[in-house]
Amino acid sequence: MSTPKMIKKLLIANRGEIACRIIKTAKKMGITTVAVYSDADANALHVKMADEKVRLGPAPSKDSYLKGELIIAAAIKLNVDAIHPGYGFLSENAQFCRLCEQHNIIFVGPPVPAIEAMGSKSAAKQIMQEAGVPLVPGYHGDEQAPEFLKKHADEMGYPVLLKAAAGGGGKGMRQVSHSDEFFAALDAAKREAMSGFGDDIMLIEKYLTQPRHVEIQVFCDQHGNGVYLFERDCSVQRRHQKVIEEAPAPGMTDALRSEMGEAALKAAQAINYVGAGTVEFLLENDGQFFFMEMNTRLQVEHPVTEMITGQDLVEWQLLVAQGETLPKQQSELAINGHAFEARIYAEDPNNEFLPSTGTLTRLIPPCEDAHTRVDTGVLQNDAVSPYYDPMIAKLIVWDKDREKALAKLTSALSRYEVQGVTTNIDFLYNLASHNAFANAQLTTHFIEEHEAELFVSAAQTHESIIPLAAVYLVLDRVQAQPKQSIHSPWQAGNHWRMNEFHQEALTLSVQNCQYDIRVIHADQNDSLLRSFEIQHGSQSYVCHGKLENGELSVNVNGHGQVIKVAQHENYSTLFTPKFAVQCALVTPDLGLSDQDDHHGGFNAPMNGTLVGLMVEPQQQVEKGQTLLVMEAMKMEHAIKAPSAGKVLEFFYSPGDLVDGGSALLTFEATDETE
């Protein structure tokens, strides 16, 4: 046990929302804060919030936030007492923790041996097995020959999950459904693991088909005390990354909670843990649970635990780091209400969740209060760059029970305004509004199982949504027109016609599908409330609508609703009670944009780095074969051949930074008639 040392100055070795989050608590505790930043973050919010700031280097994290020696040098120069690593970057880096110890700087986290023990997933499994913590069947050994690994997978039976031994956050992870997919998945997982962690050792686990992801928040001090602050359900994921988290876990019994909590503490005590940690389990419907991994840091989703316990976990971290005992004993901790966290990302759910970059030209989150919290690291007019994780914010809500908290979440999502980048807000709203989610039918495959509803296919929604979209789009267009003289029928904007109602034919885009409609304007005044008859196919709808302050008050065939509306550059979102849908008026094609695509569609889908060229120029390839791999914001994206053929020329080399939309290569398809 180290000698207690008060923390008077704290350096935060991180960026974005977690750096801002830590700074808030440090200021509350009267601790001076130091921010570090890269060139891309020179004007970032965490830099503005801190008392002092230090430049690390260029934008790429390997040249800045991952430069442990630069951070230590800054800490020494500024006489810092402690370094908080946040999560990601150096938070689970044993060597960085060791550097802190060598320079008598408090590392706000566990000791080196605990980080090392859990840093390797395979080693962690061995420790947990010896400690009596239940494990998923799998191979966690040192032998890494591809044929050897495949033999274990074949014997285990598919599906299996490949996981980077040094990984986390879904990086270096691939699900393999069939034996013939194994080697390609292994190559991709090893490449991603090496890029993200500098280590491509893999382990294999049996892939459970209907599990829930339930994790336990543990806390230990330097005096041998340990508690668990209950559980979080993080089952709803995409690409093994969490999307919506909640606490407590739905359907959790007191007996199972106690059993999982004790198992988590057993795992922590097995490695003499200190500080905040999370023990992640896979939970089956029959109550069986299996150790998955332990994260030796604060989790992204820690706010939901704070909301249901009333505890500040960052404050706990700082108190424990300076040698104090835990603020609460197990008997003093209790669950109050229910909380959700939704991660707001700059990404396009309709395009494989590809990251989106750009300037946040409009950023208005819902108002914060005791029940609504927004953890963010950006402000309006800030840029979302290709260098870091594309998270904009975490939206956290609380209420007395799950149903009320979920209603608060959907309402807050509908009021979150973001323009300048594509976001996942509509997708989150659809997810939170889904009946299966409301009924807590949660598994780690939730998104795949309900994909059609979550992405709101037009076939299932057009009868209800077409008249709503039509009324909104017509009202929005009318209100956007300049005010004209009310004395001239030729300049009036109210569709005045001698002895008849004005009719117009329009084309709507709803969820990227087009619908032809006819609108009959039935009113003859300039009031906000307007009346229409909407005709679509054989259907006719009598509609009354008013658009005011971002809300559409609409009545369709006697059914009245009030719908929140969010406007974007090229479309708008209607947040109906069941789902969010995107809509726009389709402008006539006048032939002004008829430019040939000379590159066959082989354009960079986002700003990013070209990781590797997977074929040689002039090499014959098959349809679906990967031609090159790009990486942006910690995610890989493969460009594949649309048909058999060959690449004539690549325009970039591995390591090059590529702008989104740039042509990547020229491709010649094989003539199928030959």
Positions annotated as catalytic residues are: 297
DSSP readout, 182-215?
A: HHHHHHHHHHHHHHHHS---EEEEE--SS-EEEE
Q: Compute the half-sphere exposure of residue 527: CA atoms within 13 Å on the CB side of its CA.
A: 10
Residue appearing with tokens 């909104």: 472
DSSP readout, 64-121?
A: TTT-HHHHHHHHHHTT-SEEE--SSTTTT-HHHHHHHHHTT-EESS--HHHHHHHHSH
Provide the phi-psi class of 32: left if phi over 0, else alpha when psi is between -120 and 50, else beta.
beta
| Cβ atoms 245, 405 nearer than 8 A | no
| Tokens found for residue 402 | 């799950």
| Tokens found for residue 97 | 């923790």
Strands 657-658 and 645-650: unpaired
| Cβ atoms 536, 519 nearer than 8 A | no
Amino acid 353 reads F
The CA-based dihedral angle spanning residues 174, 177, 181, 185, taken in that order and rounded to the nearest 10 degrees? 0
| Cβ atoms 173, 167 nearer than 8 A | yes
* 369: DSSP letter: B
Q: Which burial class, exposed, middle or buried, applies to 3 when counting CB atoms under 10 A from its CB (0-12, 13-18, 19+)?
A: exposed
Q: Give the rounded distance of the alpha carbon of 446 from its chain centre.
A: 15
The CA-based dihedral angle spanning residues 622, 623, 629, 633, taken in that order and rounded to the nearest 10 degrees? -160
The most distant pair of C-alpha atoms in the chain lies apart, rounded to whole Å, by: 91
* 348: DSSP letter: E
| Tokens found for residue 201 | 């050792």
Collect all residues with Cβ–Cβ distance below 8 Å to 271 and sequence separation of at least 6: 110, 113, 114, 117, 118, 127, 294
Other CB atoms within 10 Å distance of the CB of residue 285: 10
**SS3 sequence, 588-610?**
CCCCCCCCCCCCCCCECCCCEEE
| Cβ atoms 602, 663 nearer than 8 A | yes
